[in-house]
Amino acid sequence: MSEFTHAVGFGLVTASILALAAVAVNLQVGVTNFINFAYGDFLTFGAYVAWVVSSRGFNFFLAVLLGGVATGLLGVAANAFIFRPFMRRGVRTTTLLIAGIGLSFITEQGITLIWGANPLRFNGVSLGTAMTVGPFVLTPGALLMMGSALSLLLLLHVLLSRTKFGKSLRATSENVDLAQACGINCERVISVTWFLAGILTAVAGVGLSLQENNLNPVLGFNELFIIFGAVILGGLGRPYGAMLGALVVGLITEIAGAYVDAAYKTSIAFGIVIILLLFRPQGVLRSAGKTF
Amino acid sequence: MLFFLTDLLTLGCINAIMVVSLNVQYGFAGILNVSQYMYVAIGAYVAGVTTMGRPTVPGNTWAPGWTLPWYLGLVLAGVVASGLGVVIFLFTVRRLRMDYLAIVTVASAYIIWNLIDTNYGLFNGDTGIFGVPYITGNANLSTEQYSGVVLAVAAVILGLFVWVSRRIFRSPYGRVLRGIREDEVITTAFGRTSWRAQLWVFVIGCFMAGVGGGLLIFYITAWSPAAWLPIESFALFSALVIGGSGNYWGAVFGGFLVLEGILELVRFLPSFGDPAAAGAFRLLLVGVLLIAILRYRPEGVIPERWLRWYGAPARRLWGRLRPGVSQ
């Protein structure tokens, strides 16, 4: 039984990191309607920038923030210079997908060239010693991670539901043409969404590298399809669904990993993705007519 | 110097075989298969374990350890790769839209990679198989001479596969495939079952990829999970799009230039002594090239040629039948 509750505890931590990433993907897919294959490498990029800042002796939280801003700007630049010109020409989704593969090469190999292929670690940042929290055994760092993920998502919820920008984002996500006709500057909304998604992404990247105690150029790429799994499970264009999807995928992978073999954790997550896409491609919660 | 050239050409031919195999799937039929390198890897493993005998170094295991002649190994490599292709096709390609298919192919390739990496009984797990004998059966051959031998075999097989591609492309079957690629609904409305047409071209592509993998392991004599990380499939795909998807010469060009040419080019840049950095720079260049091509020449360097079905005989016939023109 204790093995099970431990796994659930780990699953909750994984889920909170996944949730940030999945919500970010969901926001971006919502307004642009294509999946970004370079997304995993954006995650890695954010973690690396945070690592650089924190290894210079700056405050860790400042480092995460700067990593977020840098990743946000990377997203805005990718949109402005790569994806927007394609979308203006009205190309097929496949072309955007392939352009994402190209961008993924550029980002990942750029990271390797700048910071090297050897795995790195956040120095002086530790998750602390494990302690018993209710039925779970968690480190204070993991608790802090879950707390910050929750508060970020809450902040996003307020932004989406209570501000004018949130309203225009939801409108753009629903129907770009109609939103444009109502006087919403959709291109600006899309840019800001890329930026917001970038911030969430970087936080998820830092969380992931802390959890795995490892920072390497394929950190995010390896996680990419698990994130897609969470997004699809929750239903596209539904940020709250993505949170639920992340919870399910995170729990299943950790629990299955505890009972089967930790080496197959990622495979199990991929198995879920395949089964989902085969049998319920519209997501468990039906999305509002949104597809990739 | 001569070895450099033959080595380059041999690897170029093998890479071109892989890209040609992807071309029949994506270029002809529009099947977005982003896991082609998995079939290459399966082909390499099968060709290895069926021709090299049982492991001699203790602590290594692979099965079945047959000692078939190399050409049978190659054929088996293709057959097993296409068998796996049939299974994956019936489960995924048949049921999914193209963009989901990309995700599912990558995910299933990862699962198979993971299984092979952690199970030692079949292909020796993460250590991989090694010590594949030369196809000439003569171990005294120098590396230079051997690369010449493999070059000859690879060139012949590449030629054969290009010819097969050409036959498919020009046949009525190729036309059905192009129809499915351009508009599946209309082709279905004309009475074609799209998945049945795509199945054959997928199997042929997997067979070619498996044979390419077999040739690769005969040339480099070892294979392990580190050799077929998921990113290799992305590189193959990029090579096809840059070279010109839909055109078999474009695919050959992509195999030579993108996969082999850029690698060699990077090797000569003085500042990249570190092999990891050279590899990274190579893929970075591929990424830049890919986006530039998509932006400024989306049809690729050698674009797909449209066959003119209304050639000279047809035009003459039309001239005779045209209403209002007296003969």
**Top mean-pLDDT range of A150-154, A240-244, B188-192:** A150-154
For A269, name the nearest residue in chain B, comparing CA atoms only. Answer: B107
| Tens of pLDDT, residues B42-54 | 999 999 999 988 8
Chain A to chain B, count of Cβ pairs less than 8 Å apart? 119
Closest CA to A268 of A276, A171, A120: A276
Query: What tokens does A147 get?
Result: 């707390």
What are the Cα distances from residue A121, in Å, to A21, A128, A211, A290, B142?
Answer: 21, 15, 11, 39, 45
pLDDT > 50? residue B325: no
Write down the pLDDT at residue A291.
47
| Tens of pLDDT, residues B143-181 | 888 999 999 999 999 999 999 999 999 999 999 999 998
Closest CA to A103 of B238, B110, B19: B238
Helix/strand/coil percent split, chain A, to 5 = 75, 5, 20
The DSSP letter of residue A138 is E
> What number is the average pLDDT over the span A20-45?
92
Cis peptide before A85 (omega within 30 of 0): no
A-side interface with B, Cβ within 8 Å?
34-35, 82, 85-86, 91, 93-95, 97-99, 101-106, 108-110, 112-113, 116-117, 221, 225, 228, 261, 263-264, 266-267, 270-271, 273-274, 277-278, 281, 291-292
Write down the pLDDT at residue B327.
38
Q: How far is CA B287 from the centre of its chain?
A: 19
Beta bridge partners of A131: A138
Beta bridge partners of A138: A131
If one compares B313 and B304, the residue with the highest pLDDT of the two is: B304
Average pLDDT, chain B: 87
A96 CA: distance to closest CA in chain B (Å): 9
Contact map slice: B 248-277 vs A, CB within 8 A: 276-277
Q: B182 pLDDT band (50/70/90 cuts)?
A: confident
pLDDT > 80? residue B269: no
A105 CA: distance to closest CA in chain B (Å): 5
Q: Is B103 on the interface with A (CB under 8 A)?
A: yes
- The CB-side HSE value for A178 (13 A sphere, CA atoms) comes to 9
Q: Flag if A292 and B114 touch (Cβ within 8 Å).
A: no
Are the C-beta atoms of residues B3 and B142 closer than 8 Å to each other?
A: no
For A264, name the nearest residue in chain B, comparing CA atoms only. Answer: B114
| Tens of pLDDT, residues B209-231 | 999 999 999 999 999 999 998 88
pLDDT > 60? residue B314: no
> What number is the average pLDDT over the span B268-295?
82
End-to-end CA separation in angstroms for chain B: 67
Write down the pLDDT at residue B96.
78
Q: In sequence order, what DSSP letters do the residues of B179-224 get, joined into one string?
A: HHHH-HHHHHHTT--HHHHHHHHHHHHHHHHHHHHHHHHHHH-EE-
B139 CA: distance to closest CA in chain A (Å): 36
> What number is the average pLDDT over the span A144-152?
92
Write down the pLDDT at residue A222.
87
Are the C-beta atoms of residues B129 and B45 closer than 8 Å to each other?
A: yes
Chain B CB contacts of A271 under 8 Å are 107, 111
Are the C-beta atoms of residues A81 and A240 closer than 8 Å to each other?
A: no
pLDDT > 70? residue A106: yes
> What number is the average pLDDT over the span A84-97?
88
Q: B317 pLDDT band (50/70/90 cuts)?
A: low
> What number is the average pLDDT over the span A179-186?
90
Chain B CB contacts of A32 under 8 Å are none
Query: What tokens does B166 get?
Result: 């050409």
Are the C-beta atoms of residues B128 and B141 closer than 8 Å to each other?
A: no
If one compares B269 and A1, the residue with the highest pLDDT of the two is: B269
Write down the pLDDT at residue A70.
97
pLDDT > 90? residue B312: no
Write down the pLDDT at residue B272.
56
Angle between helices B143-170 and B2-22 (to 10 degrees): 30
Are the C-beta atoms of residues A235 and A246 closer than 8 Å to each other?
A: no
| Tens of pLDDT, residues A225-276 | 889 888 888 877 778 888 888 998 899 888 888 888 878 888 888 888 888 8
CA angle A43, A47, A49 (to 5 degrees): 115
- Residues in Cβ contact with A144 at an 8 Å cutoff, skipping those fewer than 6 apart: none
For A106, name the nearest residue in chain B, comparing CA atoms only. Answer: B284
Residue type at A119? P
Q: Is B226 on the interface with A (CB under 8 A)?
A: no
For A100, name the nearest residue in chain B, comparing CA atoms only. Answer: B291
Q: Flag if B106 and A225 touch (Cβ within 8 Å).
A: yes
Question: At B33, phi and psi to the nearest 5?
Answer: -95, 105
% of chain B residues with pLDDT over 70: 91
d(C-alpha A165, C-alpha A168), whole Å: 5
Fold held by A2-279? ABC transporter involved in vitamin B12 uptake, BtuC (1.10.3470)
Q: How far is CA A226 from the centre of its chain?
A: 10
Q: Is B112 on the interface with A (CB under 8 A)?
A: no
B218 CA: distance to closest CA in chain A (Å): 29
Query: What tokens does B57 get?
Result: 């170094």
Q: A1 pLDDT band (50/70/90 cuts)?
A: low
Are the C-beta atoms of residues B214 and B78 closer than 8 Å to each other?
A: yes
Q: Flag if B287 and A266 touch (Cβ within 8 Å).
A: no
Write down the pLDDT at residue B319.
58
pLDDT > 50? residue B102: yes
pLDDT > 70? residue A285: no
Are the C-beta atoms of residues A285 and A241 closer than 8 Å to each other?
A: yes
Write down the pLDDT at residue B273.
58
Find where tokens 């994130």 sit.
Answer: A227
- Classify residue A283 as exposed, middle or buried by CB count within 10 Å of its CB (0-12, 13-18, 19+): buried
Among A70-79, B161-170, B188-197, B304-313, where is mean pLDDT lowest?
B304-313
Question: At A131, phi and psi to the nearest 5?
Answer: -140, 165
pLDDT > 60? residue A129: yes
For B290, name the nearest residue in chain A, comparing CA atoms only. Answer: A102
ipTM score for this prediction: 0.89
The DSSP letter of residue B62 is B
For A113, name the nearest residue in chain B, comparing CA atoms only. Answer: B277
Q: Flag if A110 and B291 touch (Cβ within 8 Å).
A: no
The domain spans of chain A are: 2-279
Nearest to B110 among A99, A101, A270 (CB): A270
